[in-house]
Amino acid sequence: MSTIVLISGYRMKYITEDRLSVYIKHLKVKKETALAAYHWNTALAGALFPAIQCLEVTLRNAIVQAVQSNPPLAAKGLYSTGPDWIFSFTEYMGKKKIKPQKRFTKKCRPGQAVDGSGYVLGQNGDRLIVERLWEERKVIDAVQKLTKAGKAVTANRVISSMDFGFWTNFLSKEYEDHQSKMLLWPNLLGIVFPNAPQGISRQDIESEFNRVRELRNRLTHHEAIWKFFYDDPATGKPDYNRPVYGSNASCSLLLKHFEDLLKLIGWMSSEVLDDFIKHQGDARFRALCSLDGLNSFVDPDKVTNVLAINKGGWGLKKAVEHLNNGKILRITRLGNSVVTIGRDFNRSFDSEK
């Protein structure tokens, strides 16, 4: 695989041909504009991140507040539902899900103590744990990183360091128990997701979040976030033998995923969603996730909305100059602010004219 790509006479190091060929084959752009489309994807990924960040923080806070404010009724005596619940709950789940013969060990070294059942004891006198749940290990890793950094280990710091995968994993069937009121679901379903459609299940919500997690993973792995595959009717999962072709279809599908992401925020908190929209957290993504957004990078002459300036245009030229210098521009009318503009994905052409 070559790491040097020749496009429009330029030799691009460290961007592989495979990385750019997807824009030609799937997005259907011309070879000479593939690199521009690549930069469009970069801008698009950046525009998607605020919504993903909002979703992650909202899910985390919704679960944390639900456990502490409305704990499952049968949780008392099993694990803490106070500020330290993240430590207690993950350890409890480890004990519950991993059988003793796997969680503990009877293989002792000279000098190690064992209990009446032959299990090795640790320095604290408890059974030595040799196998933990993934969530347990994530919490322990966070504690170790905080300690190594010289920071005090607090529940809030550990909680805030957990990633999206940690919180979405709490949505899995491992945390569901219809026979008791010990675990998260369905006990906290209506509290964490008060605005979800009536009758929706934990599994439905997990599926929705898994789609977002797949999209987020593609973003963090620097892949083409607009690239999709048609679903297999039998499984409901992507069929990787049936890719979606064309920029229009790709943008439409990505926008649908974006709308679903916002929907999930609203299921947890309509106030958070309203605030996100109020501050135009979605505006940049909506502008970029379109044919005009793509064309603003690959073929500006095809952008639909045109402001023609034939004579003068001094004010516009000054505005473009400020934007090109990385400044924030405030446009006013009769002394009142109308809009603030900063350099974002805008590109200048023939700026000297």
Q: What are the CA-CA distances from residue 98 to residues 94, 95, 115, 125, 129 (Å)?
A: 6, 6, 19, 20, 11
Provide the 10 A C-beta neighbour count for residue 153.
13
- Check if the beta carbon of residue 166 is closer than 8 Å to that of residue 64: no
Mean pLDDT, range 330-346, rounded to an integer: 74
Mean pLDDT, range 23-27, rounded to an integer: 94
pLDDT single digits (tens) 167-204: 999 999 999 998 888 999 999 999 999 999 999 999 99
Q: Exposure string (b/e) for 27-41, b if CB count within 10 Å is 16 or more?
A: bebeeebbbbbbebb
- Check if the beta carbon of residue 257 is closer than 8 Å to that of residue 52: no
**What's residue 4's pLDDT?**
45
- pLDDT surpasses 60 at 347: no
Residue type, 310: N
Residue length, the chain? 353
Taking the C-alpha atoms of residue 347 and residue 343, their distance in angstroms, rounded to an integer, is 9
Residues near 250 by beta carbon (within 8 Å), at least 6 away in sequence: 26, 27, 226, 227, 228, 244
Q: Give the CA dihedral 68, 73, 79, 84, nearest 10 degrees.
A: 10
**What's residue 8's pLDDT?**
46
* pLDDT-derived band at 12, boundaries 50, 70, 90: low
Residue type, 297: F
> Which range among 26-35, 280-289, 325-334 shows the weakest confidence by mean pLDDT?
325-334
**What's residue 223's pLDDT?**
92
Q: At 189, is the secondary structure helix, strand, or coil?
A: helix
Predicted TM-score (pTM) of this structure: 0.86
Residue 24 or 341, more confident: 24
Taking the C-alpha atoms of residue 210 and residue 229, their distance in angstroms, rounded to an integer, is 16
* pLDDT-derived band at 340, boundaries 50, 70, 90: confident
> Which range among 13-22, 65-74, 204-213, 307-316 shows the weakest confidence by mean pLDDT?
307-316
Q: Which two tokens stand for residue 177?
A: 């128990």
> Which range among 113-117, 121-125, 337-341 shows the weakest confidence by mean pLDDT?
337-341
- Tell me the percentage of the chain whose pLDDT exceeds 70: 91
| DSSP output for 275-300 | HHHHTTTTHHHHHHSSHHHHHHHH-G
Q: Exposure string (b/e) for 44-70, b if CB count within 10 Å is 16 or more?
A: bbebbebbbebbbebbbbbbbebbeee
**What's residue 40's pLDDT?**
94
Taking the C-alpha atoms of residue 299 and residue 289, their distance in angstroms, rounded to an integer, is 15
Q: At 129, is the secondary structure helix, strand, or coil?
A: strand
* pLDDT-derived band at 351, boundaries 50, 70, 90: very low
What angle, 0 to 180 degrees and rounded to 10, lies between the N-to-C axes of helices 34-69 and 247-268? 20
- Tell me the percentage of the chain whose pLDDT exceeds 90: 68
pLDDT single digits (tens) 60-100: 999 999 999 999 999 999 999 999 999 999 999 999 999 99
Long-range Cβ pairs for the range 268-271 (8 Å, 24+): 268/58, 268/59, 268/62, 268/192, 268/193, 268/194, 268/195, 269/58, 269/62, 269/195, 270/195
